[in-house]
Amino acid sequence: MNMLTEAGVEQQLADQGNTPAIKMRGKGVTVHYGDKQALFGVDLDVPEKQVTALIGPSGCGKSTFLRCLNRMNDTIPICRVGGDITLDGEDIYDPKIDVVELRARVGMVFQKPNPFPKSIYENIAYGPRIHGLTKNKAELDAVVESSLRKAALWDEVKDRLQEPGTGLSGGQQQRLCIARAIAVSPEVILMDEPCSALDPIATAKVEELIDELRQNYTIVIVTHSMQQAARVSQRTAMFHLGYLVEEGATDKMFTNPDDKRTQDYITGRFG
């Protein structure tokens, strides 16, 4: 038994030694929509090449926080963001930052699949083309294929690349949107309830995909499904009424959370 314990301790020490780098860091993040404050000084680190899940009841600020990470909130005129958010140590709200370039580095997948009303091929090719990532048709073809392969969609669509993306099933459309996000070689992928409009099989495929993408990308996912957060993420952050309540290793959060509000929320009790 002692041997086991020692091995366990060694494993823990090794794990501590392998603490991943921090890809994105939020420090005292506040958000106001007009007079209404939606986020109150959130401090949250997003570790590199891991999946971080944001959970909490509706209106808790998790999507608002997610949208701060690629300045998606800039598109809402009454929205004001305070505090610091950095990507690789660089302030993303610095006036010198090119927002279009930022959103290429920090891609996003939305709740409802929203393919462009164009062909499957064009859905993927659009980003690399406007960002000037490819020099010729052959290179573009290669990006389209590799993106669709990474999104586990290639085999299903390779014979009908010129058909409209909107003609795919819901689950395929969502994977097309993930492929579209991947096509511009992002470093971080933000996902806002990516499976809420999908059936269990399509959900399983997207979750499998998230697990594979973790090898190369940093992922932040907002989800209302506790089981999904428990399945796909390594870190979980719990939001409530605009505050970050608790953040930690997913395994601990779903077996033995520290905060009563987290316990009440994940076990389905009155808060």
Examine residue 58 and tell whether it contacts another protein (CB under 8 A): no
The single residue among 28, 34, 117, 271 that binds another protein, judged by CB under 8 A, is 271
Listed in sequence order, the residues at least 6 apart from 144 whose beta carbon sits closer than 8 Å to its beta carbon are 121, 124, 125, 161, 183
Q: Which of residues 242-261 bind another protein (CB under 8 A)?
A: 254-257
200 class by beta-carbon count within 10 Å (0-12 exposed, 13-18 middle, 19+ buried): exposed
DSSP conformational letter for 88 = T
CB of 249 to another protein, least distance (A): 13
- Residue 200 interacts with another protein (CB under 8 A)? no
Tell me the one-letter amino acid at 114. Answer: N
In one-letter notation, the amino acid at residue 13 is L
56 lines the binding site for another protein (CB under 8 A): no
**Closest approach of another protein to the CB of residue 266, in Å:** 4
Nearest approach in angstroms of CB 263 to another protein is 5
Residue 59 vs 117, nearer CB to another protein: 59
CB of residue 99 to another protein, shortest distance in Å: 38
Query: Binding residue for another protein (CB under 8 A) from 17, 77, 200, 268?
Result: 268
Give me 82's structure tokens. 């305070």
Residue range at the interface with another protein (CB under 8 A); choices 39-47, 101-109, 234-242, 263-271: 263-271
Any contact of residue 267 with another protein (CB under 8 A)?
yes
Separation of alpha carbons 199 and 205, rounded Å: 10
Q: Kindly state whether residue 232 participates in binding another protein, applying the rule CB under 8 A.
A: no
Q: Does 269 bind another protein (CB under 8 A)?
A: yes
Q: Is 264 in the site for another protein (CB under 8 A)?
A: yes
Residues 6+ apart with CB under 8 A from 32: 38, 79, 80, 82
- Look at residues 220, 208, 192 and name the one whose alpha carbon lies nearest to residue 50: 220
In degrees, to the nearest 5, what angle opens at C-alpha 34 toward C-alphas 30 and 35? 80
**Interaction of residue 241 with another protein, rule CB under 8 A:** no
- Of 123, 212, 226, 242, the residue at the interface with another protein (CB under 8 A) is 226
Closest by CA position to 150, among listed 187, 183, 196, 186: 183
Residues that bind another protein (CB under 8 A): 1-2, 5, 226-227, 230, 254-257, 262-264, 266-271
